[in-house]
């Protein structure tokens, strides 16, 4: 099916500016065939009425199927505080009563830690709403879960249950579990939760895809395709959607590295990559999760965490894979042509990941596999220059680079002095020669690229009166746009076909309702997407 059309009366973006001599764009068979002024129309004529056209956005790190499952279940992201969460739970509980046929679990997720005292929810709050019903609700970052007393009982979790090596059970002063589970401790309950079936996973993908298209997103890298963190394996979900034509986005699948296994899984990853490629899906990336998050003191840090009184503790977080093993795994994957996508949030995890990539280069040479570190919340000053030297991409989530309740109350007070001054150092990384790409980590946070771009430029949460977070680490607007378009298309290996408005590239476009370049920087997120096109095909219209 061809997509031939002509856009007229538009403003088109390239190279950090609106092209002054271009108001018409011709698309043939989904590709940009001509650009100029007053060109003769071909195919369908689309009058943009002065609209502002950017390259379509690519999200470099996102979890669409899980996000869609949560949107289609008990979606706590619709609320912002404890009372709101409990109202959503009560509404879902009433609308989906226990059916006695395996439907007793109440599932969903999307709560934020800063809504609860100390960032820790309690089972008693759920019990008051749902009674003796098992509930499992991961938070937005999927590093913690809020569970009911019935769920704890079914899992056999009580005061005598030890913490797993890769997680922690929140307890009261007497050692009794209170209803919050972190990292590997979540698996104690999650193992009992019925998995989503194929129909539910497909519906979730469609829900998520529609939402992402509505935000101008034309493609993404799914940062966890496999069985991990409680997420169902979505490889077949994508392959089925490709076959039936319902997948309109351009997707790279980052295959999950199971940290409970070792080298023996490499052959399985190669087989999965080959099976995906035969169906037309790029699954040539492998996601390795090296540490947790600062808010639960599980991000791997160099300086120990502080306690509530500012004193150093013995806790330096969790490294899910020993540094020597990580180096060996990365070298093996690199040699096989995989891109390695590493979750590295704390500065020790960042250092171990850079060391692993450096080891791969020493053994294999520079193979150009575009390895990247996701999140990079804390980068030690000694490691900033290594990104450029090793050609390692910083895959950043710009919406997090600001002072919000979570940063102010649950993060900065517990970090060492050096780490506090090294939060999301985007400008330093760029100046050091690091490629910078942007993603959202949705459902952890909003997938709206315009919100992310605004924070990257202002270092302030939209609507917040708080001062910027390390204002010197802001980036110019054109660089922020590039990180969500050309940059993220590059990390998804589509730099020869997407990410820019140029003749010969795919007509992957987003039409905005106003001039992004003329807006005050604190109003960038007020822009709205009017239309989204993938290969010249309209996939969203406001």
Strands 529-534 and 537-541: antiparallel
Q: Which pLDDT score is estimated for 484?
A: 98
Question: What length does the chain have?
Answer: 542
Alpha helices (runs of H) in 51-98, residue ranges in sequence order: 64-71, 82-95
Which residue pairs, CB below 8 angstroms and at least 24 apart, start in 361-370?
361/390, 363/331, 363/335, 364/331, 364/334, 364/335, 366/391, 367/334, 367/335, 367/337, 369/334, 369/337, 369/338, 369/339, 369/340, 370/339, 370/490, 370/491, 370/493
Instruction: Express each pLDDT in 424-464 by its tens digit.
Output: 999 999 999 999 999 999 998 999 999 999 999 999 999 99
- In DSSP notation, 322-334 reads -HHHHHHHHHHHH
Q: Does domain 198-491 have CATH number 3.20.20.140?
A: yes
- Give residue 228's pLDDT band: very low, low, confident or very high (50, 70, 90): confident
- Domain 5-55+504-541 identical in fold to domain 104-190: no
Q: Which pLDDT score is estimated for 419?
A: 97
Peptide bond into 443 cis (omega under 30): yes
- The yes-or-no verdict on residue 102 having pLDDT over 80 is no
Q: Which pLDDT score is estimated for 230?
A: 74
Nearest to 126 by CA among 149, 109, 152: 149
- The yes-or-no verdict on residue 334 having pLDDT over 90 is yes
| Distance of alpha carbon 175 from alpha carbon 419, whole angstroms | 31
- The yes-or-no verdict on residue 100 having pLDDT over 80 is no
For domain 5-55+504-541, the CATH class is mainly beta
- The yes-or-no verdict on residue 366 having pLDDT over 70 is yes
Distances (CA, A) of 532 to 179, 210, 535: 42, 11, 10
Instruction: Express each pLDDT in 243-265 by its tens digit.
Output: 999 999 999 999 999 999 999 99
104-190: what fold?
Diaminopimelate Epimerase; Chain A, domain 1 (3.10.310)
- Give residue 335's pLDDT band: very low, low, confident or very high (50, 70, 90): very high
Token pair 């271009």 in the structure block, residue: 22
Mean pLDDT, residues 131-143 taken together: 90
Where are the domains positioned within the chain? 5-55+504-541, 104-190, 198-491
* SS3 call for 219: strand
- Give residue 229's pLDDT band: very low, low, confident or very high (50, 70, 90): confident
Q: Which pLDDT score is estimated for 165?
A: 86
Mean pLDDT, residues 468-479 taken together: 98
- The yes-or-no verdict on residue 521 having pLDDT over 80 is yes
């Amino acid at each position: 099916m061809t997509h031939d059309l002509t856009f007229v009366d538009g403003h088109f973006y390239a190279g950090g500016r609106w092209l002054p001599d271009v108001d018409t764009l011709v698309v043939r068979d989904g590709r940009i065939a001509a650009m100029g002024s007053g060109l003769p129309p071909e195919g369908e004529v689309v009058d943009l009425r002065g609209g502002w056209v950017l390259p379509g956005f690519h999200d470099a790190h996102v979890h669409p199927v899980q996000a869609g499952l949560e949107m289609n279940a008990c979606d706590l992201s619709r609320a912002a505080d404890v009372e709101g969460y409990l109202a959503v739970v009560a509404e879902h509980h009433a609308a989906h009563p226990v059916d006695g046929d395996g439907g007793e679990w109440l599932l969903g997720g999307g709560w934020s830690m800063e809504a609860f005292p100390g960032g820790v929810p309690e089972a008693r709050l759920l019990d008051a709403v749902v009674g003796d019903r098992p509930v499992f609700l991961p938070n937005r970052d999927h590093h913690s879960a809020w569970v009911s007393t019935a769920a704890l009982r079914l899992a056999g979790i009580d005061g005598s249950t030890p913490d797993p090596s890769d997680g922690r059970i929140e307890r009261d002063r007497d050692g009794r579990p209170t209803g919050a589970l972190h990292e590997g401790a979540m698996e104690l309950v999650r193992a009992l939760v019925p998995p989503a079936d194929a129909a539910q996973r497909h519906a979730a993908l469609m829900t998520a895809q529609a939402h992402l298209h509505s935000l101008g997103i034309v493609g993404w890298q799914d940062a966890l395709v496999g069985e991990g963190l409680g997420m169902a394996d979505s490889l077949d979900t994508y392959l089925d959607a490709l076959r039936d034509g319902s997948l309109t986005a351009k997707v790279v699948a980052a295959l999950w590295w199971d940290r409970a296994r070792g080298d023996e899984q490499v052959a399985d990853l190669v087989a999965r990559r080959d099976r995906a490629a035969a169906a037309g899906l790029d699954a040539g990336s492998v996601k390795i999760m090296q540490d947790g998050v600062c808010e639960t003191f599980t991000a791997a840090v160099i300086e120990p965490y502080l306690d509530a009184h500012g004193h150093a503790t013995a806790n330096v977080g969790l490294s899910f894979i020993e540094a020597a093993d990580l180096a060996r795994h990365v070298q093996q994957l690199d040699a096989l042509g995989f891109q390695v996508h590493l979750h590295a949030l704390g500065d020790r995890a960042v250092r171990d990941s850079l060391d692993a990539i450096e080891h791969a280069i020493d053994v294999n040479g520079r193979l150009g596999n575009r390895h990247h570190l996701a999140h990079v919340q804390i980068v030690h000053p000694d490691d900033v220059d290594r990104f450029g030297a090793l050609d390692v991409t910083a895959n950043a989530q710009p919406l997090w680079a600001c002072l919000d309740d979570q940063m102010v109350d649950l993060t900065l007070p517990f970090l060492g002095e050096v780490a506090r001054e090294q939060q999301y150092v985007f400008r330093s990384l760029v100046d050091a020669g690091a490629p910078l790409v942007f993603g959202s980590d949705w459902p952890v946070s909003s997938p709206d690229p315009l919100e992310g771009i605004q924070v990257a430029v202002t270092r302030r949460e939209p609507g917040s009166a708080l001062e910027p977070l390390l204002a010197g680490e802001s980036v110019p607007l054109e660089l922020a746009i590039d990180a969500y378009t050309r940059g993220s298309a590059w990390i998804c290996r589509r730099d020869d076909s997407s990410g820019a408005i140029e003749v010969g590239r795919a007509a992957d476009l987003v039409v905005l309702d106003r001039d992004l370049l003329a807006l005050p920087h604190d109003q960038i997120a007020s822009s709205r997407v009017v239309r989204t096109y993938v290969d010249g095909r309209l996939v969203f219209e406001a």
